[in-house]
Amino acid sequence: MATDPMRLGRALLPAALLSLLAACATPGATPPRPVIDLPLAWPAQEGAEVPLDAHWWRLFEDPALDALVDEALAANGDLAIAAERIEQARLQAGIVDTDRYPSVSGGASSTRNRRSLEGSVQQPAGTPRIQNTHQIGIEASYELDLWGRYRAASEAARADLLATQWAREGIRLSLIANVIDSYHALRAADASKLALQRTLAGRDDALDLLARRVQAGTASEFDLNQTRAERVAVITQQAALDSDTAAVEARLATLLGRSPRAILQADIQRGRGIERLPLQVPAGLPSELLLRRPDLRLAEARLAAADARIVEARALLYPSISLTAAFGQESATLSKLLTSGANVINLGLGLTQPIWNAGRLQKNVALTESQRREQLLAYDQALRAAFGDVQTAVAAQGAATRILESERMRADILRDTARQAGLRFDAGLTSRLEVLDAERNLLQAELAAINAEAAQRTAVTSLVRALGGGWDAAATGN
């Protein structure tokens, strides 16, 4: 069948004009991010300033900790799950994006019909009772995106993808912070064990000396029993510390993504001791660093997705225009199927306008608008909470540093006090009870100083975490 070029051109002209309109159509503009009145910079803290890059945990200068963080980033299960969610969101965005392009399909069929001789429609005499039809062709369809519906759907899907990526960054940041905190808790437990072992060794030496003095009649049984009781108290502290250490080791092994057997064995490599000057993040950082937090970026992405879905929902209120085309061959005999006389061309232009659906489309628009308001409020709330986190972390870092300095000073004073009490007891100027009190106070002060060291490092980690991780010089404006 021959096709009139002029007639075909007139048929395609409306489609071309509609395509031009579709290309010019744009979804609604994305509303601006809510503005919060932030200070220009966080209050400056006294102390050492250190640069923090993407590998900010290296500020602790502990190769063993660096290795544990690398292991966690490579094998943690939560990170692996988050990576799969990103892949799913990427594939979903690709699926949604396909609606913006034409759909093309091909097909072939062969049918054989036997006509009834007693049917309601009588065929002319001589018409064959059995008829064969063979078809082969290609069909294409395309819905014009006049109102930006499919473009908005693609934007929403891409925003969802971005949200999953920022969700993974949040998991990654929390993972690093948890590994660091667990490691420092483990190192504090190790240091506490050493302090208890030193105290226990001192108790044993004192018991030997007192036993000889009791036999010689220069010491009382009361002093001996008091020292025995203090020794048992130290053993009790050791047992409790062993239990706490095992729990920290198991938690850290889980964060590292190790196997159940490895978790049971809990073979965690330790680095050097943590006795050194307190660390602090740089002073006077600009408050804009707050906006880098993964949870705020996640809230931004969700807000962008909600805005795009409003455009998508509103577009459903307007007419949809679709183009269809079919090109192929049709013949009653296979031998003539591929001849020029068997060609078939069908062109179509369809228009669909919603008229009445009980307000479903309008309610859908109202729903998406409400969802966007929810995301806007969620972003505003997340921003305020993030500011509170940083403000709290800044204060906690300063307080933890002062507490650490005080606890170290107290331990030094009590160490000298215990030494003097021992000398006074040896000279017969005081009782054994005074020595035990001095040694007990010294042990408590040493354990408090160890815990204060771990708490100060936890405060540093919490502040970096509250600010969203490391930063470079460009981020600080330096």
pLDDT of residue 51: 53
Condensed to tens digits (0 to 9), the pLDDT of residues 97-151 reads 999 999 999 988 888 887 766 666 666 766 677 788 888 889 999 999 999 999 9
472 domain residue, yes or no? yes
Taking 60 as the threshold, does the pLDDT of residue 476 lie above it?
no
pLDDT of residue 329: 86
Q: What's the whole-number average pLDDT of the chain? A: 84
This prediction has a pTM of 0.81
118 domain residue, yes or no? no
Place of tokens 């063993």: 64
The residues that bridge with 2 in the sheet, in sequence order, are: none
pLDDT mean over 281-288: 64
Query: How confident is residue 260, by pLDDT bands cut at 50, 70 and 90?
Result: low
Taking 60 as the threshold, does the pLDDT of residue 273 lie above it?
no
119 domain residue, yes or no? no
Cross-sheet strand order for the sheet of 320-331 = 103-114, 130-144, 320-331, 343-352
pLDDT of residue 440: 92
123 domain residue, yes or no? no
235 domain residue, yes or no? yes
179 domain residue, yes or no? yes
Pick the more confident residue, 2 or 281: 281
122 domain residue, yes or no? no
Query: How confident is residue 186, by pLDDT bands cut at 50, 70 and 90?
Result: very high
Lowest average pLDDT, out of 121-125, 193-197, 232-236, goes to 121-125
Query: How confident is residue 43, by pLDDT bands cut at 50, 70 and 90?
Result: low
Domain count, the chain: 1
Lowest average pLDDT, out of 110-119, 184-193, 459-468, goes to 110-119
Pick the more confident residue, 128 or 375: 375
Query: How confident is residue 32, by pLDDT bands cut at 50, 70 and 90?
Result: low
Taking 50 as the threshold, does the pLDDT of residue 262 lie above it?
yes
pLDDT of residue 328: 86
d(CA 396, CA 70): 27
Q: Across the chain, which distance is largest between two alpha carbons, in Å? A: 142
pLDDT mean over 268-285: 61
> CATH number of the domain that 74 lies in?
1.20.1600.10
121 domain residue, yes or no? no
Which domain covers residue 254, as residue numbers?
5-110+130-476
The dihedral formed by the CA atoms of 41, 47, 52 and 55, expressed in degrees to the nearest 10: -140
